[in-house]
Amino acid sequence: MNRYLLPLSVLGTAVGGAVLLRDYVAGGACPSKATIPGKTVIVTGANTGIGKQTALELARRGGNIILACRDMEKCEAAAKDIRGETLNHRVRARHLDLASLKSVREFAAKITEEEGQVHILVNNAAVMRCPHWTTEDGFEMQFGVNHLGHFLLTNLLLDTLKASAPSRIINLSSLAHVAGHIDFDDLNWEKRKYDTKAAYCQSKLAVILFTKELSRRLQGTGVTVNALHPGVARTELGRHTGMHSSAFSSFTLGPIFWLLVKSPELAAQPSTYLAVAEELGGVSGKYFDGLKEKPPAPEAEDEEVAQRLWAESARLVGLEMSGGSSVRGQPLPK
Ligand SMILES: NC(=O)c1ccc[n+]([C@@H]2O[C@H](COP(=O)([O-])OP(=O)(O)OC[C@H]3O[C@@H](n4cnc5c(N)ncnc54)[C@H](OP(=O)(O)O)[C@@H]3O)[C@@H](O)[C@H]2O)c1
């Protein structure tokens, strides 16, 4: 019996340590119990992964939820799931393809006309490390969907968000932004050899720079905007990386994944927290790693880069800015 004691206690310590490490890495549940009855919420890319769980959390808290997705079949199915699980019947599916400026404009026009108010906008949708695809308007897909699509959407909804104040914008970035760099000579990867990873990192750095500049522009309006890294989560985000389809990588990396990867439910906690927590009411222009505010990478703090990216993004999506925020969206030649 005694000879099993040492190995068993070593194993127990290892498993206990692994569970503690996993909990530490995963971060906790949203500490706020705040509810949002009657608040209008938009979550982009809400048919699966972190977006779906965020929509579910916010539906549970009484919000009037709009799932904004490109595939209406998946969107309706997710809305039905969320209604069934939360018994909140104010959960609706709406079409939004962030890879099409026309679709973004149509969606924003419909929301402005039909809803009249938006209290929480969660810019969650993203594509990661896809092949060298372009959007309908010719932008590199990751920059186009992750940054430009949300940039236009947010700007088109700004007047409604201001009229609904206090209101909040939550932008999903990623820790991957630290490896990003904004290449103003080639934002859309037309000159360089395409690098799927660097393109994702650039798009997620752009999201934080957008957050910082927007926050400066929104001072005094009652609309806040923050960016976050949700943690590494078990979702469909890796669909273009080959990791999902490889039995070898699933087998070899499985234990590491178990340790380091969150469930979508846990990964939705930071978005939920930023959307509802009363104590964050006046917090804007910040970057959160999970539930904790942290400084982002130095390039993400560079005001000059943020202003230049704003001007370039506005030109690319065809925004004419007047008075710093009102928008007359006219397509401009690229
Ligand atoms: N999972 C992670 O480990 C992780 C880590 C850091 C940051 N994040 C960020 O967290 C957010 C959510 O990611 P996730 O992990 O939940 O990914 P996911 O499971 O792949 O979900 C992404 C969502 O974005 C949608 N989407 C993609 N292209 C779109 C388009 N053109 N128009 C509208 N919607 C589009 C997808 O719709 P379809 O299903 O139709 O494709 C899907 O609903 C992303 O911003 C991601 O960068 C995730």
Residue 254 has pLDDT above 90, yes or no: no
Residue 323 has pLDDT above 50, yes or no: no
Q: How far is the CA of 3 from the centre of ligand 1 (A)?
A: 50
**Contact in structure between 291 and 231 (CB atoms under 8 Å):** no
101 lines ligand 1 (CB under 6 A): no
144 lines ligand 1 (CB under 6 A): no
For the chain, what is the mean pLDDT? Answer: 91
Catalytic residue among 4, 24, 194, 200: 200
Q: Report residue 11's pLDDT band, with 50, 70 and 90 as the boundaries.
A: confident
In the prediction, which pLDDT does 22 show?
61
Q: Does residue 260 lie in a domain region? A: yes
Q: Which letter, b or e, does each residue of 215-226 get, where b requires 16 or more Cβ atoms within 10 Å of its Cβ?
A: bbebeeeebbbb
Q: Does residue 322 lie in a domain region? A: no
125 lines ligand 1 (CB under 6 A): yes
Q: How far is CA 182 from CA 105, 113, 189, 222, in A?
A: 26, 35, 11, 30
**Contact in structure between 78 and 67 (CB atoms under 8 Å):** yes
In the prediction, which pLDDT does 10 show?
73
Q: Which domain holds residue 82?
A: 31-315
> How many helices (H) and strands (E) in the chain?
11, 10
Residue 166: cis peptide before it, omega within 30 degrees of 0: yes
In the prediction, which pLDDT does 122 show?
98
Which of 43, 52, 69, 105 is the best mutation target for the ligand 1 pocket, counting ligand atoms within 8 Å of the beta carbon and taking the most? 69
Q: Does residue 38 lie in a domain region? A: yes
In the prediction, which pLDDT does 328 show?
39
In the prediction, which pLDDT does 4 show?
79
45 lines ligand 1 (CB under 6 A): yes
Query: Could you read off the pLDDT of 279-319 as tens digits, one per residue?
Result: 999 999 999 999 999 999 999 999 999 999 999 999 999 99
Q: Does residue 214 lie in a domain region? A: yes
Give the domain CATH number at 110. Answer: 3.40.50.720
The contacts found for 37-40 with CB under 8 angstroms, 24 or more apart, are: 37/61, 37/62, 37/63, 38/62, 38/63, 38/64, 39/63, 39/64, 39/119, 39/120, 40/64, 40/66, 40/115, 40/117, 40/118, 40/119, 40/120, 40/164
- Rounded to whole angstroms, the Cα distance separating 194 from 132 reads 7
Task: Please spell the DSSP secondary structure of 279-306, one letter per residue.
Answer: GGTT--S-EEETTEE----GGGG-HHHH
Query: Could you read off the pLDDT of 133-187 as tens digits, one per residue?
Result: 999 999 999 999 999 999 999 999 999 999 999 999 999 999 999 999 999 999 9
Atom of ligand 1 nearest to the CA of 135: 31
At residue 57, the 3 state secondary structure works out as: helix
Q: Does residue 4 lie in a domain region? A: no
Q: Report residue 277's pLDDT band, with 50, 70 and 90 as the boundaries.
A: very high
Give the total number of structural domains in the chain.
1
- Rounded to whole angstroms, the Cα distance separating 294 from 208 reads 12
In the prediction, which pLDDT does 292 show?
97
Query: Could you read off the pLDDT of 79-93 as tens digits, one per residue?
Result: 999 999 999 999 999
Whole-model pTM: value is 0.90
Query: Could you read off the pLDDT of 195-252 as tens digits, one per residue?
Result: 999 999 999 999 999 999 999 999 999 999 999 999 999 998 989 887 655 666 666 6
Q: Report residue 329's pLDDT band, with 50, 70 and 90 as the boundaries.
A: very low
Query: Could you read off the pLDDT of 12-64 as tens digits, one per residue?
Result: 776 666 666 665 666 789 999 999 999 999 999 999 999 999 999 999 999 99
In the prediction, which pLDDT does 121 show?
98
Q: Does residue 12 lie in a domain region? A: no
Q: Does residue 196 lie in a domain region? A: yes
Q: Does residue 328 lie in a domain region? A: no
